[in-house]
Amino acid sequence: MKIVKPSFSILNNIDGDEVLKAIEAAGRTCYKSEATITSDSAIKFVNNILKRNHESVLEHQSVSVRIVCDRGVSHEIVRHRIASYSQESTRFCNYCKEKFEGHITLIHPSGLTEQQYKRREEHFWAVQRLYDEEINEGISPQIARGILPTALKTEIVVTMNLREWRHFFKLRAAGTAGKPHPQMLEITVPMLEAFKKLIAIVFDDITIDRGTL
């Protein structure tokens, strides 16, 4: 058994200026105002479309992110319909194999007491032993996975257009529809901060309610 922390990595090589220019080029098609494009007009254009809620233009640009989280958090992520997902499959992954170092990997929530942490680890070791027993008895991974906990670590590659990323962060980082799950915030808060640094303007207006942390 192994314990890891949640994490993420942005898979695209993002040039924020080029992203804004591409959005402007697409958007100005609507008005046939391409002749007004200058070296620094993209920022003003994108600002204006956001103020007018013309966010469909943002759909022409997308970002892919690899997220490491527990299965429970991943179940919330995939509720966002306008996206593409590729997720680690407990049906086909045999965690007794060498490439998984022969054990299951899990994620603990933050804020546990030492006693609570120890109690969970005892439970996870029992799960590991039972999983090993079932695999060694010839039970297939797709059946043995039934004993794996929600705390199981999973990797999921998520691709969304920028409009959907805005919606995702409003719900999952800013808490506009209720307080997000604490383990979701462990991923979404630093991810939103990274997006803000990479793609100026598009995410600047999404503020994190620190009261949700």
Whether the Cβ atoms of residue 187 and residue 67 lie closer than 8 Å to each other = yes
47-101 tens-digit pLDDT:
999 999 999 999 999 999 999 999 999 999 999 999 999 999 999 999 999 999 9
Whole-angstrom distance between the N-terminal and C-terminal Cα of the chain?
Answer: 29
Whether the Cβ atoms of residue 67 and residue 77 lie closer than 8 Å to each other = yes
Q: Rounded to an integer, what distance in angstroms lies between the CA atom of residue 175 and that of residue 178?
A: 5
Spans of the chain, pLDDT less than 70: 209-213
Active site residue 120: no
Q: What pLDDT is attached to residue 116?
A: 96
Q: Residue 202 has which token pair? A: 């598009």
Q: What pLDDT is attached to residue 142?
A: 97
Q: What pLDDT is attached to residue 211?
A: 57
Q: Among the options 28, 79, 172, 210, which is catalytic?
A: 172
CA distances from 57 to 15, 164, 170 (A): 18, 12, 18
Which of helix, strand or coil describes residue 162? helix
Domain ranges of the chain: 90-147
pTM check: above 0.95: no
Q: What pLDDT is attached to residue 127?
A: 98
Q: What pLDDT is attached to residue 27?
A: 96
Q: What pLDDT is attached to residue 210?
A: 61
DSSP 24-50: HHHHHHHHT-GGG--TTHHHHHHHHHH
The H-or-E segment that residue 8 falls in is strand 7-10
